[in-house]
Amino acid sequence: MAHDAHSRWRFATWNVASINNNPFEHHASSGKESNDEDDVTAFIISCERFLCADTSTKPSASASGARTVIETSLCRNDRLDAIERALVHSCGRDAGRVARARAAFERDVTARDAAAFFLDAEIGSKRLCSMPDRVTNTIRAMDSVTKGERTWMRPTVINCYGERMTSEDDWFRRWSEYMFDFTFVSVDGRERKVMDLMIPIKRAKYPAVSEEEEALGIDLQVFYLYAFDQALVTLATSAAGSFTGWQDVRAKLVDDLVTHKFSRTLDALEKIFLSSGDAVTPQTAACFLQEVGASLADALEARPHVKSRYDVLRPKDMDVKRDQNSIIVLSKAFTRGCEITEATSEILETLGDGVTKFSKGDFCAFLAHKVLFCSYHGDTDGLQTKTITGAVQDWCSANASVVDGCVFGMDANTHVFHREGKKQGARDLIDFVASSTKFASCWTLAGVDIERDAMTTFSARTFLQAQLNKAIKRDECASSELTDRHPKDHVLVTLRDDTSATIASSVAIARVNAIDFTVDPPKALAFDPSAMFPNAQFPSDHACVLFDCALSFMHH
């Protein structure tokens, strides 16, 4: 299929990642046209009100009652006794140190307000709750009985634990069995317990931790994790009105965000973003994807529409441990008759020792018909985005005999505001691209105000998650500096002096953050700047960017 210099192509870039394992972690729009609060939002707000009741004045009866119940539940001697016995007898921990850990925990808890496990920045900075939660929340390993791989989850409010529990006593029994008795087979073939996954919190990395807390180590973390999970259960029960009520809310959220995420992501890619083209919409030449798991890449490649029309290009050195990779889906209408070669390692090698700052699997590059296609997932603060962009530019210049142009899709993790050495600003990246490379940004070419109209993320953490210092009240989501609302996703294209006018006249750009999955094929809806996502209408926490333009080097 030949294309002349004025043929228009579509390029899409999308970070397909979403929640990790906590369906309550982020506020989300209901995905409904009604202005009425849905059950999930009402539950989240109810939890927030219990926790944020002003203790300097008389709080509401319901909020005061919930906080009193939390205070009472955290120091129940029967449960602390059970944890102490299990640590010593089931896990072989030193009895004296376990007793000291319990005493230190009880001292701290009785000195704090009931809401401290959600609102106290000191606990957050010490990682006393979030560290043990991170390593024990969800385990993917070998079943010691069946020898097959499976997933287990700690019985807690903040994951997708699917077994129905009948009461707080039932919860605590299951929690204890998981933490102290349950065994699995690790990757090294050894049978392990959950306690074996716990890691010490070192003062060298977390200075807020005291010498005593560091010395009491894992034993102290267990008591804090219990308190955190217990407080969550008590809070959720109070907010929902019953112990089964919060489980019903969670089941609905898991259905919206987790159960259908995989299939909805595939449907969106195959039936919307990988367009075959028509009189109005150009054919998708390349779709740049980030944070893709191997199973998603396999399933995408197996879809009939994709298999017949696209090559799914994965880096040779994929990250199989984190299972988060950047890949490229390239149209066979463009690649037909050519050899596709990977340039990932060659480009990364030009960085020298600087390559250590890049996570495995986050960057890939492929050359086809003298066009280099790259996909990149930036570090959290976007500090390496200019580095990799410059490296790609330098490699293209050094290989000018075999490279006519480049298209680079990325989750650059750029922010509204630039803080040198701390946060990479989107405007600063655009200025760098214009002054130091031959690239042009899709936003610049489309005449979009990058700091106002190019937001591709909108998410804010609730109080039902372990990084307590990042929680945001629902009514402050649009204004809080902690809200992730930034222009993070970009398509960069090689710009030549003799083609700039041609490109500019052919440009169209769109963002997608809502899809109607109730129809077949699913239909992309108009971008909603007020919607927080992921939600029932969108499976990722990044919008997909669709960029249409004509590039002189995109023909053969």
pLDDT tens digits along 381-413: 999 999 999 999 999 999 999 999 999 999 999
Residue 223 contacts residue 105 (beta carbons within 8 Å): yes
Neighbours of 427 (CB within 10 A): 16
Q: What is the mean pLDDT of residues 29-46?
A: 68
pLDDT of residue 70: 67
pLDDT of residue 116: 62
Q: Is the pLDDT score of 483 beyond 90? A: yes
Per-position DSSP letters for 89-141, written without gaps between them: IIT---HHHHHHHHHHHHHHHHTS-TTHHHH-HHHHHHTTTHHHHHHHSEEEE
Distance from C-alpha of 466 to C-alpha of 25, rounded to nearest angstrom: 9
Verify cis geometry, omega within 30 degrees of 0, for the bond prior to 521: yes
Torsion sign over Cα 383, 386, 388, 391: negative
Range of weakest confidence among 50-54, 133-137, 161-165, 210-214: 50-54
Task: Give the start-to-end residue ranges of the domains of the chain.
Answer: 8-26+260-550, 39-254
Nearest to 423 by CA among 387, 454, 379: 379
Q: Which two tokens stand for residue 434?
A: 């214009």
For the chain, the average pLDDT equals 88
Q: What is the mean pLDDT of residues 42-68?
A: 65
106-115, long-range: CB < 8 A, 24+ apart: 106/75, 106/80, 109/74, 109/75, 109/227, 110/75, 113/55, 113/67, 114/67, 114/68, 114/70, 114/71, 114/74, 114/231, 115/50, 115/51, 115/52, 115/67, 115/70
**Between residues 91 and 278, the one the model is more confident about:** 91
CA angle 413, 419, 422 (to 5 degrees): 65
Amino acid at 317: D
Range of weakest confidence among 87-91, 121-125, 257-261, 456-460: 121-125
pLDDT of residue 117: 63
Residue 157 contacts residue 22 (beta carbons within 8 Å): no
Residue 172, SS3?
helix
Question: Which run of H or of E encompasses 510?
Answer: strand 508-512
Q: Is the pLDDT score of 65 beyond 60? A: no
**Between residues 309 and 280, the one the model is more confident about:** 309
**Between residues 140 and 288, the one the model is more confident about:** 288
Q: Is the pLDDT score of 171 beyond 70? A: yes
Provide the pLDDT confidence category of residue 32 given band limits of 50, 70 and 90: very low
pLDDT of residue 350: 96
Nearest to 350 by CA among 377, 389, 383, 382: 389
Distance from C-alpha of 266 to C-alpha of 304, rounded to nearest angstrom: 12
Q: Is the pLDDT score of 4 beyond 50? A: no
- Among residues of the chain, what percentage have pLDDT more than 70? 89
pLDDT of residue 3: 41
Distance from C-alpha of 535 to C-alpha of 530, rounded to nearest angstrom: 13
Neighbours of 458 (CB within 10 A): 25
Distance from C-alpha of 359 to C-alpha of 414, rounded to nearest angstrom: 17
CATH of 8-26+260-550 among 3.40.50.150, 3.20.20.70, 3.60.10.10, 3.40.50.2300: 3.60.10.10
Q: Is the pLDDT score of 33 beyond 60? A: no
Question: Which run of H or of E encompasses 151?
Answer: strand 149-153
Helix then strand count (H, E) for the chain reads: 19, 18
Q: Is the pLDDT score of 506 beyond 70? A: yes
pLDDT of residue 184: 87
Question: Which run of H or of E encompasses 229?
Answer: helix 211-240
Distance from C-alpha of 473 to C-alpha of 309, rounded to nearest angstrom: 46
Q: Which two tokens stand for residue 17?
A: 């990642």
pLDDT of residue 210: 93
pLDDT of residue 1: 35
- For 193-202, what is each residue's pLDDT tens digit? 999 999 999 9
Top mean pLDDT of 35-44, 74-83, 407-416 is at 407-416
Q: How far is CA 7 from CA 159, 180, 334, 414, 516, in A?
A: 48, 63, 12, 31, 30
Q: How far is CA 420 from CA 363, 377, 413, 425, 431, in A?
A: 23, 20, 14, 8, 14
pLDDT of residue 112: 73
Provide the pLDDT confidence category of residue 122 given band limits of 50, 70 and 90: confident
- For 423-444, what is each residue's pLDDT tens digit? 999 999 999 999 999 999 999 9
Nearest to 223 by CA among 62, 75, 347: 75
Distance from C-alpha of 8 to C-alpha of 285, rounded to nearest angstrom: 9
pLDDT of residue 126: 87
Q: What is the mean pLDDT of residues 197-215?
A: 92
pLDDT of residue 29: 66
